[in-house]
Amino acid sequence: MHISLSTGSLFTLPLHKVCELSSQAGFDGVELIINQDFQKVNPAKLVASLQEITTIHSIHAPFMPLDGWGGPADSLRICIELAAERSIPLVNFHPPSWMGFEVGFWRWFYSVHDFQKEIGRDGQVIVTIENMPWVGKFKINPHILSNTQRMIDFINEHNLFMTFDCTHMGSGKANFINDFYLCYESGRIRNIHFSDYGHGREHLLPGHGILPLTRFLNHLRSTDYQSTVTLELDPSELPKAEAVILESLKEILAFLRKETGKDNDRVRAFDQRFQSVPVKGA
C-alpha cells in the first residue's frame, strides 16, 4: 500500500516545495492536482521536473477552468495524455455537477461506454471518479451519482474505477464505513482520499472532526486493499512555518503507517498471547 500526499494540502506553496516536503517527510509520493501553475507552461516538462523530486502516483484533473485546458471532458483527456507520457498510473476526476449546469459534460459522461478503453487508452492509465460532498445548511450534494449504490452501478456498467473520499462521504453520514464496504466490494476502489470532517468543514486533520478514522483504517487493514491512500488536507490545517509543516507531516504519516500496517496486527496478536500466559508464582 502506498501512502501519498495530495499537493492540494499545501497549495499555498510552490509545487516543487510541496514535493520536497512530501519526500522529506517520507511519503511514498504525491497526488498532483492540476491547478493554475499549469496554465501557459509545458505540462510535461513541469511534471518531469516534479518527478525528479518524488514519485507522482496520481493526477487529479482540474476542478476549475484553466486557460488552455478546455472544459471538464477536454481537461480529463489532457490529463490522461500527460499521465501516459510521464508514466503516471492513475487520473482522478469529479463527476458532473447538476447544480453547476454542466450539461455538456453530463451528456459526454453518459456517452462513454468503457472509460478504461475509450478514455484510459485501453487500460494504460487507470481512470477514477470521486464521490462528492454534501454541502450547505440543507446538506445538498450538487453532483450526480451522490447515492452510493447508483455510483457503484454506474462504475460497474461503464468500467470506471473509484477514488473513495472519506471526508466527502462523511459529510453526508458520519458513520461512512458501511458505504466504504459497499464500494470496496465492487472491486473498483483504486485510491482513497483520507481526511476528517466536522461541523461543515472538509479535509480536516484526523481527530479534528467527527469521523471514525482510526476505526476506518483498522477496517482497511483487514482488507486486501493494496492501492494508494492519499492524505488530502485543507492547508489551514497545517502550520505556516515549513519546519513545523514537515514535523506535522511526519507525525501524520507515522499514524497512517501504524494504523494501516499489516505488521501491526501481528504485534497486537503477539501481545495478546503474551498477556494470556500465566506467570509462575503469581
pLDDT tens readout for residues 173-212: 888 999 999 999 999 999 999 999 998 999 999 999 999 9
**CATH number for 251:** 3.20.20.150
CA-CA distance, 64 to 75, in Å (whole number)? 10
Residue 281 lies in a domain: no
The pair phi, psi for residue 80, each rounded to 5°, is: -65, -45
Quick check: 22 and 232 in contact, CB under 8 A? no
Q: Which residue has the cell 482540474?
A: 62
Q: What is the reported pLDDT for 101? A: 85
C-alpha cell at 191: 485510491
Q: What's the total number of domains in the chain?
A: 1
Q: Which residues of 73-88 are buried (b: 16+ CB within 10 A; e: fewer)?
A: bebbebbbebbeebeb
Would you say residue 99 lies in a domain?
yes
Q: pLDDT over 70 for what percent of the chain?
A: 93
Q: Are 30 and 59 in contact (CB under 8 A)?
A: no
Instruction: Flag whether 46 is in a domain.
Output: yes
**Chain-wide mean pLDDT for the chain?**
93
Q: Is residue 153 part of a domain?
A: yes
Q: Residue 267: its pLDDT value, please?
A: 43
Indicate whether 282 belongs to any domain: no
User: Is residue 146 within 8 Å of residue 157, measured between CB atoms?
Assistant: no
Question: Cell digits for 57?
Answer: 502516483
Summarised one tens digit per residue, pLDDT across range 50-106 is 999 999 999 999 999 999 999 999 999 999 999 999 999 999 999 999 988 889 999
Could you tell me if residue 52 is inside a domain? yes
Which pLDDT tens digit goes with each residue over 106-124? Answer: 999 999 999 999 999 999 9
The reply to whether 245 falls in a domain is yes
Domain membership of residue 256 (yes or no) is: yes
What range does the domain containing 22 cover?
A: 2-276
